[in-house]
């Protein structure tokens, strides 16, 4: 999971535009302001309130970065991904994955990463959700071709060493 977060952060840093940098800078400046006020309150009078503000500032910072990333992704880089057709090849530990990716935004996309997370499904909805949080395999598909507005691209990939008989998967797309 940490490697997926690291890959996502590095991909976002490499492809971020001016608007993204300004938005993340705004979240950082708000965080620094909250920390400065918290340290001032802690030094002057109530250290407990200052400590709680520092903890709330860190929580707000991570929440702000996450929601800003999701908001910008939905507004600036809107894409749709079709249902994924996954087939396990017979007599082989290979999974064939096919889907369509469509740019629904107004600007061309320079690159995309599709994250596929495979997990063991369950008939109970709570257990299925918990299993989806702990995937047994994550595969990243990187697409470096440019997608013009309203252009669709058919993508076929093979995943080697995949021997699970029963699986469910989640998909997540990041494009810039």
Q: What is the CATH number of the domain that holds 146?
A: 2.60.40.1620
Q: Pick from 35, 61, 76: which residue ends a domain?
A: 76
Q: How much is the pLDDT for 90?
A: 80
Q: How many CB atoms lie within 10 A of CB 20?
A: 19
Q: Are residues 149 and 70 in the same domain?
A: no
42/55 Cα distance (integer angstroms): 12
Domain range spanning residue 31? 2-76
Q: How many CB atoms lie within 10 A of CB 91?
A: 5
Q: Are residues 101 and 150 in the same domain?
A: yes
Q: How much is the pLDDT for 155?
A: 92
Q: Pick from 51, 76, 101: which residue ends a domain?
A: 76
Q: How much is the pLDDT for 148?
A: 92
| Average confidence (pLDDT) per 10 residues, the chain, 176 residues | 74 82 94 94 88 94 92 87 86 88 90 89 91 88 90 91 80 87
Query: Could you give the C-alpha distances from 98 to 45, 51, 86, in angstroms and in order?
Result: 61, 51, 6
Q: Are residues 29 and 110 in the same domain?
A: no
Number of domains in the chain: 2
Q: Are residues 119 and 171 in the same domain?
A: yes
Q: Are residues 29 and 94 in the same domain?
A: no
Q: Are residues 94 and 135 in the same domain?
A: yes
Q: Are residues 126 and 66 in the same domain?
A: no
Q: Pick from 19, 50, 76: which residue ends a domain?
A: 76
Chain centre distance of CA 120: 21
Residue 67: partners with Cβ closer than 8 Å, 6 or more residues away: none
């Amino acid at each position: 999971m940490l490697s997926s977060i690291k890959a996502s952060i590095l991909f976002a840093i490499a492809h971020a535009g001016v608007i993204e940098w300004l938005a993340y800078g705004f979240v950082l400046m708000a965080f620094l302001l909250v920390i400065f006020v918290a340290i001032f309150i802690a030094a002057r009078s109530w250290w407990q309130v200052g400590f709680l503000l520092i903890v709330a500032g860190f929580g707000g910072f991570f929440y702000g970065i996450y929601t800003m990333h999701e908001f910008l992704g939905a507004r600036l880089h809107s894409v749709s991904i079709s249902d994924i057709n996954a087939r396990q090849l017979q007599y082989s530990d290979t999974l064939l994955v096919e889907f369509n990716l469509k740019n629904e935004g107004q600007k061309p996309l320079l690159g995309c990463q599709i994250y596929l997370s495979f997990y063991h499904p369950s008939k109970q909805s709570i257990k299925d959700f918990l299993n989806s949080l702990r995937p047994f395999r994550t595969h990243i598909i990187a697409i470096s071709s440019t997608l013009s507005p309203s252009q669709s691209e058919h993508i076929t990939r093979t995943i080697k060493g995949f021997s699970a008989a029963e699986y469910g998967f989640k998909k997540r797309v990041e494009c810039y």
